[in-house]
């Protein structure tokens, strides 16, 4: 081949050939779609919620009924018929379910992670991991039904005063639901701990127990922490299980009062579902309150996800 041909060959442009351009732009659009989704969520929640509040509603061209921001954020009563929109009545129930499920899921999840990462032999692991995945794969509405039909009656034998709808059974099922999340992220963090550290421990004459609790867990701490935050965020956003199990009665509870768990409540997510099943369509204060709750929920979970990401980054940097 003459060198002229060679030069011509080398300068032939393939990167901008039509199939390349087409596929590249399609893939790019797909990736950018995620940004649009986020923007759409934020824009929608913010504009609709703005129509709800009396401060911002005139700016959005809304006349008629509106609600006060201060009352929304500090009010403790949520009675739509009386125009009382106090989100704290919902938030406290959400906090209770989150706390209750955390008490179940965090210790069990970390214990599971330690067992899978340090103790289980490969065969046991290959059985347990899919089983845990199934725990997360059962639809949440099914969990809610379990709480309502089986768990609450069982709890009634211990606490006779428990209501048909109660936060305790909701907390239990949400807790079970988020165990796999805590377990799998924590296990990843523990597996990422370099073997050198374990070897060093064993070399010093430590037992497996001492290595697991004294070396692996502290080393994986930021990963475990990040799993906690993610799981809590998941519990906050959990919808169907709490809707079915906890009921629709919005009530302000003291989240740190254990007796309140026997009572029903309406967490934020459940309130949203119940609002919509009550036949409301476009416009109307009740409809717009949906977006105000949605915005609150989104801000809380988004902040938690970001924090968890920041914490997780630390452990990635460490190893």
Q: Which of residues 289-308 bind other proteins (CB under 8 A)?
A: 290-291, 294, 297-298, 301-302, 304-306, 308
Of the two residues 33 and 259, which places its CB atom closer to other proteins in the complex? 33
End-to-end CA distance of the chain: 52
Residue 137 found at the interface with other proteins (CB under 8 A): yes
Q: CA separation (Å) from 230 to 115, 185, 225?
A: 21, 9, 9
Distance CA(175)–CA(173), nearest Å, equals: 5
Locate tokens 């214990």: which residue? 111
Of the two residues 14 and 256, which places its CB atom closer to other proteins in the complex? 14
Q: Nearest approach, Cβ of 257 to other proteins (angstroms)?
A: 26
Which one, of 11, 22, 51, lies nearest residue 282 by Cα?
A: 51
Q: Which of 126, 199, 254, 257 binds other proteins (CB under 8 A)?
A: 126
Q: Nearest approach, Cβ of 74 to other proteins (angstroms)?
A: 23
Residue 103 found at the interface with other proteins (CB under 8 A): no
Residue 216 found at the interface with other proteins (CB under 8 A): no
Residue 50 found at the interface with other proteins (CB under 8 A): no
Q: Is the dihedral of CA 151, 154, 158, 164 positive or negative?
A: positive
Judged by CB under 8 A, the stretch of 56-64, 105-113, 216-224, 251-259 that binds other proteins is 105-113
Distance CA(266)–CA(79), nearest Å, equals: 12
Q: Supply φ then ψ for residue 265, to 5 degrees.
A: -165, 170
Q: Which of residues 176-215 bind other proteins (CB under 8 A)?
A: 176, 179-180, 183, 205, 207-210, 212-213
Q: Which two tokens stand for residue 233?
A: 């965020």
Residue 10 found at the interface with other proteins (CB under 8 A): yes
Q: Which of 69, 73, 80, 111 binds other proteins (CB under 8 A)?
A: 111
Of the two residues 234 and 253, which places its CB atom closer to other proteins in the complex? 234
Q: CA separation (Å) from 246 to 147, 278, 291?
A: 9, 17, 21
DSSP for 262-292, please give it.
Answer: GS----HHHHHHHHHHTT--SSSHHHHHHHH
Distance CA(270)–CA(251), nearest Å, equals: 12
Q: Which of residues 139-168 bind other proteins (CB under 8 A)?
A: 139-142, 144-146, 148-151
Q: CA separation (Å) from 233 to 48, 99, 199, 291?
A: 23, 11, 36, 19
Of the two residues 28 and 257, which places its CB atom closer to other proteins in the complex? 28
Residue 29 found at the interface with other proteins (CB under 8 A): yes
Helices (H), 138-166: 140-146, 152-156
Residue 319 found at the interface with other proteins (CB under 8 A): no
Of the two residues 4 and 63, which places its CB atom closer to other proteins in the complex? 4
Residue 1 found at the interface with other proteins (CB under 8 A): yes
Judged by CB under 8 A, the stretch of 28-36, 52-60, 67-75, 257-265 that binds other proteins is 28-36
Residue 217 found at the interface with other proteins (CB under 8 A): no
Judged by CB under 8 A, the stretch of 8-16, 61-69, 70-78, 194-202 that binds other proteins is 8-16
């Amino acid at each position: 081949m003459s060198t002229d041909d060679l030069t011509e060959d080398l300068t032939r442009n393939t990167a901008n050939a039509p199939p390349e351009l087409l596929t590249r732009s399609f893939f790019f659009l797909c990736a950018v779609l995620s940004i649009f989704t986020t923007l759409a969520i934020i824009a929608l929640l913010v504009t609709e919620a703005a129509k709800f509040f009396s401060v911002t509603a005139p700016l959005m061209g809304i006349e008629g009924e509106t609600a006060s921001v201060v009352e929304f954020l500090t009010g403790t009563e949520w009675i739509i018929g009386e125009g009382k929109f106090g989100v704290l009545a919902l938030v406290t129930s959400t906090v209770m379910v989150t706390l209750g499920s955390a008490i179940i899921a965090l210790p069990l999840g970390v214990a599971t992670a330690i067992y899978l990462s340090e103790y289980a032999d490969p065969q046991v692991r290959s059985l347990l991991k899919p089983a845990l995945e199934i725990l997360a794969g059962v639809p949440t509405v099914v969990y809610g039904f379990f709480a309502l039909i089986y768990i609450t009656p069982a709890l009634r034998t211990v606490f006779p005063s428990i209501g048909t709808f109660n936060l305790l059974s909701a907390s239990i099922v949400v807790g079970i639901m988020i165990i796999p999340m805590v377990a799998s992220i924590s296990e990843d963090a523990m597996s990422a701990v370099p073997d050198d550290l374990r070897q060093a421990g064993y070399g010093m004459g430590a037992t497996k127990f001492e290595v697991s609790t004294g070396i692996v867990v502290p080393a994986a701490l930021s990963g475990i922490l990040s799993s906690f935050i993610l799981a809590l965020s998941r519990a906050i956003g959990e919808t169907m299980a709490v809707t079915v199990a906890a009921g629709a009665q919005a009530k302000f509870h003291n989240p740190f009062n254990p007796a309140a768990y026997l009572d029903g409540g309406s967490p934020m997510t459940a309130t949203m579902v119940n609002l919509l099943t009550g036949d409301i369509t476009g416009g109307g204060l009740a409809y717009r309150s949906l977006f105000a709750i949605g915005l609150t929920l989104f801000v809380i979970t988004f902040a938690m996800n970001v924090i968890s990401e920041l914490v997780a980054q630390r452990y990635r940097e460490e190893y």
